[in-house]
Structure 1
Amino acid sequence: MTHLGKTLLVANPVAQNGNGAAAAQRAGDELRRLLPEGCFDLVMTEYPLHGKRIAGQATGYDSVVALGGDGLIHEVANGLMSIDEGARPALGVLPMGSGNDYARTLGLSFDLEKSLAQLASASPRPFDLGLCNGEFFVETLSFGLDAAIALDTVERRKRTGKTGTQLFLASGIDMLLHQLKEHRFTAIIDGGEPFCGAMLMFAVQIGPTYGGGFRICPDARTDDGLLDLCIAHPPLGIPKAVFMFLLAKNAHHTGFKQLEFRRAATLSLRFDGQPPAQIDGEPVPAEKYDIAVARKALCVLAP
């Protein structure tokens, strides 16, 4: 038995260096076989933010499945959140990106046939979303070094064709050597008193990973109604920063005194100067960031 119901597949045809179109056709063939006649549609994205527009018009569907990377999932989730809750389809995922962090959080295989089988038997569960300046995020929002890495991977993938851990390691080492910069900030957590500090990186997580599987906030959960924060404070030299970066792949970085871990339902951030900033891998420049958790706001098809 499947919980998909009437399903719309939204696919990025250029995902994974152009493999998305063929993957979408294979996935479409399987979903047409699985679902009753007239209960499946496929739309390919054609331009940036097209996935958000498609998903925002998906009333009448039970499920909207994003085939692509975290950027497409981000678009689709934001589109779905524009639909009234009572008519809002569930979000499904077929991972075809470079990082696939949200798929990793859901426990999905990166093999298309296996992830299709997982999707077919998945159940809708209410998941938290992050909200930053009116824009939802499914996995990660970050500032400083980690955002510089996330944004660099987009151009690096186009130049080199690398994906996954190999891509993020190459970018991470490069940015550690050239973008390890201190940024001053003022923060308010859960409406408390403002406090000031300095950071090299500031991660705000719904799920535990970013950057293709780096477990920056290993205890983060998608349904606890809280944002998990990891702040790297200076001073931190390049050799130690590289060492910590490599340890974060397997969540062995949490004991360093330069790292501060906190949880919050709301967070307000201002920076003295604009640091690199990303939301689910996309740029998000602003003067001030008002951040909150939208508790169990979106039903997601999870194994």
Structure 2
Amino acid sequence: MTDSQQHYLLIINGKSAGNPALREAVNEQRQAGMLITVRATWEGGDAADIAEQSHAMGMTHVIACGGDGTVSEVMNGLMRLPHDRRPALGIVPLGSANDFATSVGLPLEPGAALAAARELSAYPIDVVRVTAGSGGESATSYYINMTTGGFGAEVTSSTPKTLKRLLGGGAYSLMGALKAWRHRSYRGTLHWDEKEESASLLLLALGNGRQSGGGQVLGPRAKLDDGRLDVLLVKDFRSVTELTKLISELQSFPYDGRFVRYFTTTQLTVTTQENDSPWPLTLDGEARYYDQFCAEVVPLALRVLLPEECPLLSSNNRP
């Protein structure tokens, strides 16, 4: 497909619409022949609605300009379209964490990221569908990177946004260290494959990608296109000695450690009992509480602009 046949829709988080570097990047690429239409968001849900309209607008590519939350919202809008009508997704990272963009090796500077979007190939990757419910009501959404449940979700939600901006990825680690001493575990029954297990967990991570929370690697062996969900379970601890063992296991991510378990599946469901606390779960960068949720892989559902050497593609077998 030639440049004249490619039309790029930039969906910009409204807070970043005046970003000088982004404006300069758009002007440079337009002068270089890139056909660009720009839309900025005003309120929550706008990014998904605009993305859903992209095919009708004649777009071949949709570029999410913002942080992980913006990427998630744009991707959810694209998933409303039939498979054969979904434009390719690109990313110009403008957030404080940018976990997905960082892990796949995309440029983090707006000019370089937009220039790369013009040159990169689109690779089909898996998407994870989450159906989560509370109080008899449920909703479905999608993600391409990772969702966390339990303590990990609380950390992301409770870290002040100002602190995130000031400290970047370090903000998540700082709040995590502070919370670890007043941590709270969550009980639930887990179902995957033909297994069922009740557990009290400090952290549950469900990864299509590898990292979350501003650089915390929770799915070190995840691939974006293998049809598998990488699952990390971190069980509760009761003493400093047990915490030391837990931290040690997090260095190797064993299949069946005392406190840490790491395995893959295509679907995992968590349910709570009547007296159990609802689970905090991050689906778009913010924690919400659910009595039950199910995550399942939708294989090769979306084309994403990625570097050829991206370590999260199965064609690149290095870790």
TM-score, length basis structure 1: 0.87
CA RMSD, aligned part only?
A: 2.5
Task: Tell me the residue number matched to 2:82.
Answer: 84
Tell me how far 1:5 sits from its aligned partner.
1.4
Is 1:279 matched up with 2:283?
yes
Unpaired stretches in structure 2, ≥5 consecutive residues: 132-139, 308-319
Alpha-carbon distance between aligned partners in 2 of 1:226 and 1:24, rounded to the nearest angstrom: 35
Specify which structure has the higher proportion of strand. Answer: 2
Q: Identify the match of residue 294 of structure 1 among 292, 298, 319.
A: 298
Alpha-carbon distance between aligned partners in 1 of 2:216 and 2:199, rounded to the nearest angstrom: 24
Q: What CA deviation, in whole Å up to 9, does each residue of 1:189-230 have, x standing for no partner?
A: 02x243211111111011011111111110011011010000
Name the SS for the 2:31 alignment partner: helix
Alpha-carbon distance between aligned partners in 1 of 2:223 and 2:4, rounded to the nearest angstrom: 23
Alpha-carbon distance between aligned partners in 2 of 1:103 and 1:3, rounded to the nearest angstrom: 27
Please, which moves more after superposition, 94-103 or 156-165?
156-165
Is 1:29 matched up with 2:31?
no
Alpha-carbon distance between aligned partners in 1 of 2:244 and 2:112, rounded to the nearest angstrom: 35
Contact 1:2–1:122 (CA under 8 A) maintained in structure 2: no
Alpha-carbon distance between aligned partners in 1 of 2:4 and 2:279, rounded to the nearest angstrom: 42
**Percent identical:** 26
Tell me how far 1:92 sits from its aligned partner.
0.3
Q: Identify the match of residue 220 of structure 2 among 218, 221, 245.
A: 218
Q: 1:45 to 1:220 in 2, by over 3 A?
A: same
Tell me how far 1:71 sits from its aligned partner.
0.2
> What number of residue pairs does the alignment pair up?
291
Task: Tell me the residue number matched to 1:55.
Answer: 51
Contact 1:274–1:286 (CA under 8 A) maintained in structure 2: yes
Is 1:14 matched up with 2:15?
yes
Contact 1:220–1:228 (CA under 8 A) maintained in structure 2: yes
Name the SS for the 1:27 alignment partner: helix
Contact 1:140–1:280 (CA under 8 A) maintained in structure 2: no
Name the SS for the 1:174 alignment partner: helix
Q: Identify the match of residue 187 of structure 1 among 153, 178, 190.
A: 190
Alpha-carbon distance between aligned partners in 2 of 1:239 and 1:103, rounded to the nearest angstrom: 36
Q: What CA deviation, in whole Å up to 9, does each residue of 1:135-162 have, x standing for no partner?
A: 1011111111111111123xx1236742
* Alignment of structure 1 residues 234-249 onto 2, 5 Å: 234-237=236-239, 241=243
Alpha-carbon distance between aligned partners in 2 of 1:3 and 1:260, rounded to the nearest angstrom: 50
Unpaired stretches in structure 1, ≥5 consecutive residues: none
Q: What CA deviation, in whole Å up to 9, does each residue of 1:205-264 have, x standing for no partner?
A: 11011111111110011011010000001225468658967x89xx73525631100111
Q: 1:90 to 1:232 in 2, by over 3 A?
A: same
* Alignment of structure 1 residues 108-187 onto 2, 5 Å: 108-133=106-131, 134-153=140-159, 156-158=160-162, 161-178=165-182, 180-187=183-190
Alpha-carbon distance between aligned partners in 2 of 1:95 and 1:26, rounded to the nearest angstrom: 15
Alpha-carbon distance between aligned partners in 2 of 1:199 and 1:230, rounded to the nearest angstrom: 10
Tell me how far 1:282 sits from its aligned partner.
2.6
Q: 1:125 to 1:173 in 2, by over 3 A?
A: same
Q: Identify the match of residue 70 of structure 2 among 69, 72, 82.
A: 72
Tell me how far 1:98 sits from its aligned partner.
1.2
Contact 1:157–1:163 (CA under 8 A) maintained in structure 2: no
